[in-house]
C-alpha cells in the first residue's frame, strides 16, 4: 500500500488559496472540502473556486462534497477536471449512478461514510468505488479531535477491500496528525487527509513529509 497525503485547504488562508496549494507541492493531492451549510453546519466554497484552483496548480484535486443532493452536483466537479470526487453515503440518493457519472467524466469516484455509518451495507458497491473515505470526525469543521471509535471500522473496511481485490484506496479524514496517523495506517488506511496538522504547522511541506514518513513506518 502506497501512502498518500492529501492536505486539506480548509485550514489554509482562504484569501491565499493559490499560495497555500503551492506550499505543499510535495503532497499527492489537495483536499478540497465543499460544504453547503445544509449537509453540514458550515459553508465553504464550490465549483467556481475549484475551477480557479485547477488553473493554479498541477497537483490533483481531491474534492470532498459535504453537500445535500450530491447526485446533482458531483459530475460537474469531475467534468471541471478534479482528479477525485467524493460523495457521502448519507446524502446520495442514487450513489451507483452518481459514482458511474464521476468515473465517466474521468475522475476517481470516492464514497464517504460518517463516523456512525456502517461500512458493511456498502460492500456490494466496492466495484463502483475508487476510494472509500471514512470520516474520523463528524464532518463540518477542521481542527477537531480524532475519533478512536472509528478505528475498528477502518480495519473492517480494509478487510472488505482486500476481499474484493485490494484496489480501492482507503482514506481517513479528520483529526489526522503526527499523534494519530500511525493508528490509522496500522488499521489499514492508505490516503490521509490532514488540515490543521499541515496548515497549522510552521512549515506545511515539512509536515507533509513527516506525516508520510510516520504512516509509511507504521
Ligand atoms: C472536516 C473536513 C476535513 C477537515 C480536516 O469536515 O472534511 O477535511 O479539513 O481537518 P483536520 O485535519 O484539521 O481535522
Ligand atoms: Zn474533508
pLDDT (0 to 100) of residue 158 = 98
pLDDT at 112 over 90: yes
Distance (Å) of CA 67 to CA 6, 32, 39, 48, 93:
20, 13, 5, 16, 12
Q: Minimal CA–CA distance to 40: which of 9, 5, 70, 82?
A: 70
What's the CA-to-centroid distance between 191 and ligand 2, angstroms? Answer: 12
pLDDT digits (tens, 9 = 90+) for 23-50: 999 999 999 999 999 999 999 999 999 9
pLDDT band at 1, cuts 50/70/90?
confident
Q: Which ligand is nearest to the CA of 196?
A: 1
Give residue-wise pLDDT tens across range 82-97: 999 999 999 999 999 9
Distance 181 CA to ligand 1 centre (A): 14
Collapse the DSSP code of 181 into the 3-class scheme (helix H, G, I; strand E, B; otherwise coil) and give the result: helix
Q: Give φ, ψ of 71 to 5 degrees.
A: -60, -30
How far the first Cα of the chain sits from its last, in Å, is 12
Q: What does the mean pLDDT of the chain come to?
A: 98
31 lines ligand 1 (CB under 6 A): yes
**Which secondary-structure segment (H or E) carries 33?**
strand 30-35
| Cβ atoms of 20 and 13 closer than 8 Å | yes
Q: Is 36 a catalytic residue?
A: no
148 is catalytic: no
Is the CB of residue 142 below 6 angstroms from any atom belonging to ligand 1? yes
Q: Give me the catalytic one of 33, 36, 130, 190.
A: 33
CA of 188 to the centre of ligand 1 (A): 19
User: Any idea what the Cα angle at residue 41 is, between residues 152 and 145, rounded to 5°?
Assistant: 40
Estimate the crossing angle of helix 70-80 against helix 95-104, to 10 degrees: 10
Q: Is the pTM of this model over 0.95?
A: yes
Segments of 49-163 assigned E as strands: 61-66, 84-88, 108-113, 131-135
- Using the mean position of ligand 2's atoms as its centre, give its distance from the Cα of residue 28 in Å: 15
Which among 62, 130, 173, 190 is annotated as catalytic? 173
Report which bound ligand comes closest to the CA of 175: 1
As a whole number, mean pLDDT of residues 183-189 equals 98
Measured from the CA of 196, which atom of ligand 1 is nearest? 13
Residue 132 has pLDDT above 80, yes or no: yes
Q: Which residues surround ligand 2, an ion (CB under 5 A)?
A: 33, 64, 173
Q: What is the pLDDT of residue 139?
A: 98
Assign 113 a pLDDT band (cuts: 50, 70, 90). Answer: very high
Q: Nearest 5°: phi and psi at 65?
A: -90, 105
Residues contacting residue 16 through CB under 8 Å, at least 6 positions apart: none
Amino acid at each position: 500500500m502506497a501512502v498518500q497525503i492529501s492536505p486539506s485547504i480548509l485550514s489554509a488562508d482562504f484569501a491565499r488559496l493559490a499560495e497555500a496549494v503551492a506550499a505543499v507541492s510535495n503532497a499527492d493531492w489537495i483536499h478540497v472540502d465543499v460544504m453547503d451549510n445544509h449537509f453540514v453546519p458550515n459553508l465553504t466554497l464550490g465549483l467556481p473556486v475549484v475551477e480557479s484552483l485547477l488553473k493554479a496548480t498541477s497537483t490533483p484535486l481531491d474534492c470532498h462534497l459535504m453537500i445535500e443532493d450530491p447526485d446533482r452536483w458531483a459530475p460537474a466537479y469531475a467534468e471541471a477536471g478534479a482528479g477525485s470526487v467524493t460523495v457521502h453515503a448519507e446524502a446520495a440518493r442514487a450513489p451507483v449512478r452518481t459514482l458511474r457519472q464521476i468515473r465517466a467524466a474521468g475522475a476517481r469516484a470516492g464514497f464517504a461514510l460518517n463516523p456512525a455509518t456502517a461500512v458493511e451495507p456498502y460492500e456490494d458497491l466496492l466495484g463502483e468505488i475508487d476510494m472509500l473515505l471514512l470520516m474520523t470526525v463528524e464532518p463540518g469543521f477542521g481542527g477537531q479531535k480524532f475519533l478512536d471509535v472509528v478505528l475498528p471500522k477502518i480495519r473492517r473496511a480494509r478487510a472488505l477491500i482486500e476481499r474484493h481485490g485490494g484496489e480501492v484506496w482507503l482514506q481517513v479524514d479528520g483529526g489526522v496528525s503526527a499523534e494519530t496517523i500511525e493508528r490509522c495506517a496500522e488499521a489499514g488506511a492508505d490516503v490521509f487527509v490532514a488540515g490543521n496538522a499541515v496548515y497549522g504547522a510552521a512549515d506545511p511541506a515539512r509536515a507533509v513529509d513527516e506525516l508520510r514518513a510516520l504512516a509509511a513506518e507504521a
